[in-house]
Chain A
Amino acid sequence: MTIRDVWVRRVRIDFTKRWETWRLIFDWTIVLYGGIPLALFFGYQYGLIWQGAYPWLVDVPMLVWAVVFLLIQLHDNFFVWVERADVTLVANRDLVSALKRYSIGYHVVGMALKYTFVLVLFAPVPSLHGWPLVSLFAFGFALLFVAWLHMWVRYLLNMNGTHWSLRLIVPVVAFVCTFALLTDLPLLAIVLGSGSVAFALAAGEGWLSRHPYIRREVDHAANVRTAFDRSLLSASGVYEKPNLRKRPLYRPKSNRFGSVRRTLAILLYIRTPNHRNLWLRLIPLAVTGLLLVPSWFKLLIPLYIGYVGLQERDALLKEMERHPFFRTTEGRTD
């Protein structure tokens, strides 16, 4: 069992879990009725952009594109693939150093893929502005570099516990740098970029060999890796870790839809995949049907939808009778 084996297994398991989370949200019918039509629609629109069907895109100021890129960059979160066991099982920190090296490789590949995708989406805009292909590639590389510096310096400052005012400078510099690249101000971009490189080198010195903030790095890694699951589950009120925060971020009022029983019924309905997914596939089907079915036959579609709705209502009422939540709220009127 080598360090590489442990890392590969860790990443593989993490990817499997992420895939399972996505599969929980999207079953094949949703992909068939929602995902594929949307992909075809947006693909077609993207083709139209290249053919010049949206000439107003030229008038969008570069400042707006710089803001869009900043919003994308703010979603880049560096983390090291470390776990608590890595720092507990053995005193030797070779494991942590190796995991830090692997993590850099992981993020380089991840960011390269992400920004290639972003650049492909953005490519029609500079082409409308008359940029040659070489300029587009140069911009792509520079953007990737700026995004990496932004993510990396932000991570180091977070781990050091630096004051928020200093941390705020990092996205500002990244934003100005991107704006300078977009508006053809290479000198400004070079000055800011080289300054950032110097700062990143100074701040990251010894990061691979010394680990004074390893506990924060472990906590941060756990937070980033579970962020998606937590955002899904904490918003629903199902998942809460009181030991991690003093007050819950979100606690739904028990009677926010009028009464406790009604609130429970609605939440139970929309959180049950069978019920929720029925509507997620029925709505696009109904819209397509209304477009395709001729004349007064269209009337059949709302009738059918109404019929399904009534059946769903009956099914839910039966479920409610059996469900322990509703049994405990029997007779409550609040």
Chain B
Amino acid sequence: MDVHIQRAGYESGEAVVEEIEFDVRPGEIVGMIGSNGAGKSTTIACLTGTIPWMQGRVEIGRYAYIPEQPIYYDYLTLAEHIALVTELTRTEESARTHQLLELFRLESVQHDYIASFSKGMKQKAMILLALIQEAEFLLVDEPFVGLDATTTIQLLRLLEEERRRGTGVLLVTHVLDTADRLCDRFVWIDNGRMLANGTKQEIRAELGTDGESLFDMMEDVVMR
């Protein structure tokens, strides 16, 4: 995944994000961090091609996207969603699907409408629908919101597993501790621009901070 966004926004000529450049290589997890309204979700919209106006270039292979808010069809059951996704991505309903259904405890409700699920179950359904695609890249937008501790741990393990499988993961998150533990590199977005990009050591050098963790670095930068 190679991203070179010069300017992008929701109205023509009104840039919300500018000069954002980064890449995600297969088999690594890149964390996209930044405060509320920094432009993280807009950057994701550039990657998924849903931004109305963009100048720049995005090269991305076959990807799957886990949105921040669950987005699904009100009139389809989970099993029908799975059938549709496998049909569209030309994959086969494999043992992995059943394994994920079992892992997320969604087996018994797979013939129910997703609309009738609780918030956490909806989020789990979104994760499942993305993972069964076996895509080259995973775009994960704030995945831990609404998940219980068990599912969060399961998701972290699944992301690790995806990394081992060779999937490139772009993880957008506010949870700095988790990002710190999980990600290989970071893209730090602030006020619609890229503040820093690289490993923790590179970011530390670039921003001239001596913070040990991401949290310390952010605290240091914010307090300046």
A interface residues (Cβ-Cβ under 8 A, vs B): 1-3, 6, 9-10, 13, 83-85, 87-92, 94-95, 161, 211-216
Contact = CB atoms under 8 A, between A and B. Distances in A.
Given A1-B83, A88-B71, A161 B52 contact: yes
B75 A9 contact: yes
Interface stretch (B25-33, B58-66, B116-124, B173-181): B58-66
Nearest to B77: A1
A2 B65 CA distance: 21
B63 A91 contact: yes
A220 to B, nearest CB: 11
B89 A83 contact: no
A245 to B, nearest CB: 15
Given A94-B88, A214-B49, A216-B52, A6 B71 contact: no
A86 to B, nearest CB: 9
Given A1-B80, A214-B49, A90 B85 contact: yes
Interface string B154-168: 000000000000000
A213 B45 CA distance: 12
B72 interface: yes
Nearest to B83: A1
Contacts of B75: 9-10, 13
B12 A85 contact: no
B213 interface: no
Contact of B73 (A3, A83, A211, A212): A83
A1 B79 CA distance: 9
Given A6-B76, A10-B73, A87-B49, 5 more contacts: A1-B83, A89-B81, A94-B88, A215-B51, A215-B52
Q: Which of A83, A87, A92, A216 lies at the interface centre, i.e. has the most chain B CB atoms within 10 A of its CB?
A: A92
Given A85-B71, A91-B62, A91-B64, A215 B50 contact: yes
Contact of A212 (B49, B81, B88): B49
A229 B89 CA distance: 35
Contacts of B72: 85, 89
Given A89-B71, A91-B135, A6 B52 contact: no
A285 to B, nearest CB: 41
B99 interface: no
B84 A87 contact: no
B67 interface: yes
Contacts of A214: 49-50
B48 interface: yes
Contacts of A87: 48-50
Nearest to B136: A91
B100 interface: no
Q: Which of B51, B53, B73 lies at the interface centre, i.e. has the most chain A CB atoms within 10 A of its CB?
A: B73
B76 A84 contact: no
A211 B48 CA distance: 11
Interface string B1-41: 00000000001100000000000000000000000000000
Contact of A89 (B49, B50, B62, B129): B129
Contacts of B88: 3, 89-90, 92, 94-95
Contacts of B65: 88, 91
B87 interface: yes
A91 B61 CA distance: 10
A211 B135 CA distance: 21
Contacts of A6: 73, 76, 84
B133 interface: yes
Interface string B86-98: 0111000000000
A85 B73 contact: yes
Contacts of A84: 71
Q: Which of A83, A85, A161, A214 lies at the interface centre, i.e. has the most chain B CB atoms within 10 A of its CB?
A: A85
A13 B74 CA distance: 10
A89 B135 contact: no
A89 B85 contact: yes
Contacts of A91: 48, 62-65, 135
Given A85-B71, A88-B71, A1 B89 contact: no
A9 B80 CA distance: 12
Contacts of B71: 84-85, 88-89
15 contacts: A1-B76, A1-B84, A1-B87, A3-B88, A84-B71, A85-B73, A87-B48, A87-B49, A88-B65, A89-B88, A91-B62, A211-B49, A215-B45, A215-B51, A215-B52
